[in-house]
A = this chain, B = another copy of it.
């Protein structure tokens, strides 16, 4: 969404990963383009030199800014007067820490895919570097970019459902029902291999999204979780189903269910939050609706750009008119726009629009890593209650 009034230059974007065959690389590029705050000018799109160059040509990166390695990219870009403002890291988890650290140290902001790193130690190291360098660092927890999710968060924060009692998030997929990794499928391969994903499978891939959403909308993090992780597909090395109970310091309770083995579901994210005076729910496959009920009144369907609650300002400007659904790419674009707003505001010496601060920070990335640790520890101990802060 273009900010009204002032006109700022487009930010120069580089990308690590995202070459031919990438799933998430094109999504990042569309997202960066959608609100026109970035131009993609450099990349190390693949560890394979030819694929890197082919990919760069396809996305209109000039040949002299297509690099064969991210190390070469850091070195060359840091030396240019028109160097990139920000790098997007869209590689598998094991290749987040290295480039993220190097680009930050070279004075370049970072947008990084989730989960933040391969393990918590790497994440803590990145947090240290970020604090030393002061770079802006965004983590792409996409579902927090949906307008109705932000609306839900704002409503909960404003007390629309009263003090929160229950947090229920599920993320239900089916694509790993069979051992797809055994067929050579690239996406399944790295996501089920500890060398590329870390110790968490489903819990890292989509469980962290669910955990972030639970916290994003409710405004709370649990004190303790009790997890049961299972690998159902024959030969699978990492969990493909995650059952978690949560306890909050306030007395609230929660559940997370994340699975990759539930036929009939594509990307069924559902968030339901209940408080002392009302309830709110959102379902990702119908993302333009938010369901809200005040206890004792009729359930309401709040539209994306439509009717909002008295006293709660709508936290965004719609890109398209009411009734014209926005989807996943728009939500992803929101994250890039948040990043652009934070960067531009800093560059222009002004405060960033508050809404842009909802982009997940590196600190939230670390929280996600600790969640993975805690879930794995709880499950490994047979399903005991573990504090996410002390999981390692």
Contacts and interface: CB of A to CB of B under 8 A. Distances in A.
A356 interface: no
A263 interface: yes
A383 interface: yes
A168 interface: yes
Interface in A297-332: 297-303, 306-307, 319-330
A279 B232 contact: no
Given A165-B232, A226-B383, A264 B241 contact: no
A306 B298 contact: yes
Interface in A183-202: none
Nearest to A6: B58
A23 B302 CA distance: 22
B322 A328 contact: no
Given A226-B245, A265-B279, A295-B174, A29 B36 contact: yes
Contacts of A329: 34, 319-320, 324, 326, 329-330
A252 B187 CA distance: 26
B323 A325 contact: no
Interface in A238-280: 241, 243, 245, 247, 251, 253, 255, 257, 259, 261-268, 272, 274-280
B296 A299 contact: no
Interface in A270-294: 272, 274-281, 284-288, 291-294
A127 to B, nearest CB: 29
B278 A58 contact: no
**Chain A: interface residue count, which band?**
35 or more
B325 A320 contact: no
Nearest to A33: B33
Contacts of A285: 288, 323, 325
A60 interface: yes
A291 B57 CA distance: 39
Given A34-B34, A34-B329, A255-B257, 6 more contacts: A30-B36, A245-B383, A298-B301, A298-B307, A299-B300, A301-B301
17 contacts: A7-B57, A27-B319, A30-B35, A30-B36, A33-B34, A36-B59, A165-B232, A165-B241, A255-B257, A263-B296, A267-B321, A267-B323, A267-B324, A285-B325, A288-B327, A320-B329, A329-B330
